[in-house]
Structures are given as structure tokens and as C-alpha cells.
């Protein structure tokens, strides 16, 4: 029996125990509200004039009705699995979609945008929704929610909702490492400090808008992404050590910033989810988790395919069984890998629920 077969029932048992601990509602939190990049985007970029879209095959081929919704995955994102584990029967809708209206707003909304990040300039260049704009859309959502639920209930939902933020990977992989206008001006340490400062401002502003339970994903092992191995791993057999070290250094800064924020707000719960270690463990010991391929994505050659550019309906050689792959394209995890990440989110985020 592999690790996943053991761990998943334990997570479900843990959540069931919580559910029997006095919660009268069907879900452990009233709503889930998400911000960030392509790791979290469920379709907002479908409505943006940007190259960073995933609303066409082979994306979504293992999702409900084999539908390409805009998720950068063959199936579900980690946040989708998290929502299911917390008792949600539907996923909070992409805010720019027509589904984000009426009673659907009661369970939250998703404001994430692929190619967004802590670096606002890069987000704008990518025609993504910058985090600052995502926050403004959230404020608009609050007004709509009050009209649907009434102000008292809306205030309760906003206060008790679970807020998720996933960003930062694109800032490094699609910006810093490949953009000489950035990496020739800033050291990686200086750029990390800049991004952490942006993170701090966003969390403070989100708190000011009413959020009290916030979970933030750390950087994954960036040096293990197939695209990064292709571009920067010519002299290494495994992951790119230098880039993984950069990610770990950033994560330490992120945790320090979160600790500083928590000292300022006694009523705030803020958790930094470590997704570096669980994903790195999978990549280093894939057979223990039921995987076969870790260095290539399922789509095409699996080495450089990312979004519209190379992973599309005409891409030859896309794998038939994505459950054996850790990555679907050259950057984003498969549905199977996202299940493992989601279990970590639940275990590490117990204080939020």
C-alpha cells in the first residue's frame, strides 16, 4: 500500500471528527475565497486578452464532463480537493464568469488569474489580473454578497470564510530567471525581499477588507519543474539545486513576514502552507506515491509545454494516463499530484477551520 492510500483516509477521518465537533452547517467554513495565479485560477483568464489560458484540451480532459474550464490541470486543482474535503458540493466560481452571481456568491468566489503574482508589473505585462485588482474585485464581491444575503449574513460569511492565496512561482519562473531587465538589476535575494514586501501589503489590505482566516501556499520546489530543468538544468541529473535553494530562501522570508503580521493582529489566523517538502518528496520517491514520471509533463514532450504556446489540442504525444505523471504541462501538477498537495493543505491548515 502506498503513502497516498494510507494518508487520504486519515485526512477524511480527521475532517469528519472536526465536523462532529459542534458545526451545524454542512461545510466547515461558510465560503472559500481565493486569490493568486495559475495554481488557483479556475477560469478568470478565460475573460482576459492574455496568452495564459487553459480553456481548451488537453486541459480539463479528466475534469467533470471532460470540460476545459480554465484550470491549468488535466483535472482538479488542489483548492478543488480542499473544497470537497471541507464539505462543498460546488466550487466557488471564477468571479469574472456568469456563474459568480446570485446564491452562488454565498459559498465564495475565485479571483485568481494565471500569470499574476506578487510583482505587479509582471502581472500587467502578462495581461493578468494583478493582486491589487483582485482585491478590488473582492470588495465589489462583498457589495454583491450583501445584496444577496443581507448585510448581517454577508458580514458573517466574510468574517468566517477561508481565504486562500497562491502566488510567487511565476514571479521567478516566468519573470526573474528569464528577464535580464530584472535579474541584471536585482539579486535573487533583493527580488525575494521585493516580493515579500508585496505579499505583506496584500495580506494587510486583505485583513483590512475583512479576512480573518488566511492560508498562503509557499513556493514549490521550482528547480524540479520540467520547464526549469529544461532551461537551467543542463549540468544536473535531478532538480536544479540553485533554484530550489532560492525557493527555500524565499519561503523562509515568507514565514518570517507572516509571523510579523500575526504580531500586529490578535484576531488574525494566518498559515503558510509548506508545499515545497511534500511535492519534493513525491519527486524524489515517486513510486511510493504511485507515480512513474517526474521530469516530464504529460502534455507533448513535457519539457517546455506551457499554456497556449505549446500545450494545446494539436500538441502531439500527450500521455494517455496522467495519473502516472507528477506534472501535466511543464509547470503545473496533475490532478493526482494536486490530491497530495490538498491533503497537506488540510493537515497544515487545521487552525483555519
What residues are labeled active site? 38, 329, 332
Helix (H) or strand (E) holding 162: strand 162-166
DSSP string, 58-109: TTTTTSGGG---S-SSSS--HHHHHHHHTT-SSPPPBTTSTTSSGGGGGGEE
**Cβ distance 289 to 4 under 8 Å?**
yes
Q: Which single residue is written with the C-alpha cell 444575503?
A: 149
Residue 209: C-alpha distances to residues 31, 141, 142, 203, 311 (Å): 15, 11, 9, 10, 38
Task: Print burial letters for 226-259: b (CB count within 10 Å at least 16), e (below 16).
Answer: bbbbbbbbeeeeebbeebbebbbebbebbeebbe
Phi, psi of 214 (to 5 degrees): -125, 130
Q: C-alpha grid cell for residue 15?
A: 475532517
Q: Measured between alpha carbons, how far is 350 from 353 in angstroms, rounded to an integer?
A: 5
Contacts of 182 (CB under 8 A, 6+ apart): 175, 176, 191
Crossing angle for the helix pair 335-348 and 78-85, to the nearest 10 degrees: 50
DSSP string, 108-140: EEE---TT--S-HHHHHHTT---HHHHHHHHHH
Whether the CA torsion 114, 81, 330, 302 is positive or negative: it is negative
CA dihedral 162, 31, 79, 307 (to 10 degrees): -110
Phi, psi of 244 (to 5 degrees): -65, -35
Peptide bond into 58 cis (omega under 30): yes
Amino acid at each position: 500500500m502506498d503513502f497516498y492510500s494510507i494518508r487520504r483516509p486519515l485526512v477524511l477521518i480527521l475532517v469528519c471528527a472536526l465536523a462532529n465537533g459542534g458545526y451545524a452547517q454542512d461545510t466547515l467554513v461558510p465560503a472559500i475565497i481565493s486569490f493568486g495565479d495559475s495554481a488557483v485560477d479556475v477560469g478568470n483568464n478565460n475573460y482576459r486578452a492574455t496568452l495564459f489560458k487553459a480553456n481548451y484540451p488537453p486541459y480539463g480532459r479528466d475534469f467533470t464532463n471532460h470540460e476545459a474550464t480554465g484550470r491549468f490541470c488535466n483535472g482538479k486543482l488542489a483548492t478543488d480537493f480542499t473544497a470537497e474535503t471541507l464539505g462543498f458540493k460546488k466550487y466557488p466560481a471564477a468571479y469574472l464568469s456568469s456563474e459568480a452571481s446570485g446564491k452562488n456568491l454565498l459559498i465564495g468566489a475565485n479571483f485568481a488569474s494565471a500569470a499574476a503574482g506578487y510583482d505587479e508589473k509582471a502581472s500587467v505585462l502578462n495581461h493578468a489580473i494583478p493582486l491589487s485588482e483582485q482585491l478590488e474585485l473582492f470588495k465589489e464581491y462583498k457589495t454583491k454578497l450583501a445584496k444577496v444575503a443581507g448585510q448581517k449574513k454577508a458580514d458573517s460569511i466574510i468574517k468566517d470564510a477561508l481565504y486562500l492565496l497562491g502566488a510567487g512561482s511565476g514571479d521567478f519562473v516566468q519573470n526573474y530567471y528569464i528577464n535580464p531587465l530584472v535579474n541584471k538589476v536585482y539579486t535573487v535575494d533583493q527580488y525575494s525581499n521585493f516580493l515579500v514586501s508585496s505579499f505583506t501589503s496584500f495580506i494587510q489590505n486583505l485583513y483590512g477588507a475583512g479576512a480573518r482566516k488566511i492560508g498562503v501556499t509557499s513556493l514549490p520546489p521550482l528547480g524540479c519543474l520540467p520547464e526549469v530543468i529544461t532551461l537551467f538544468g543542463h549540468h544536473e541529473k535531478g532538480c536544479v539545486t540553485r533554484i530550489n535553494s532560492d525557493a527555500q530562501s524565499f519561503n523562509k522570508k515568507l514565514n518570517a513576514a507572516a509571523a510579523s503580521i500575526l504580531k500586529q493582529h490578535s484576531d488574525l489566523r494566518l498559515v503558510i502552507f509548506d508545499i515545497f517538502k511534500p511535492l519534493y518528496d513525491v519527486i524524489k520517491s515517486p513510486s511510493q506515491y504511485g507515480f512513474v514520471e517526474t521530469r516530464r509533463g504529460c502534455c507533448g514532450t513535457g519539457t517546455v509545454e506551457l499554456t497556449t504556446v505549446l500545450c494545446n489540442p494539436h500538441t502531439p504525444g500527450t500521455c494517455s494516463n496522467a495519473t502516472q505523471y507528477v506534472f501535466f504541462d511543464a509547470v503545473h501538477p496533475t490532478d493526482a499530484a494536486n490530491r497530495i498537495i490538498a491533503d497537506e493543505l488540510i493537515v497544515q491548515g487545521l487552525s483555519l477551520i
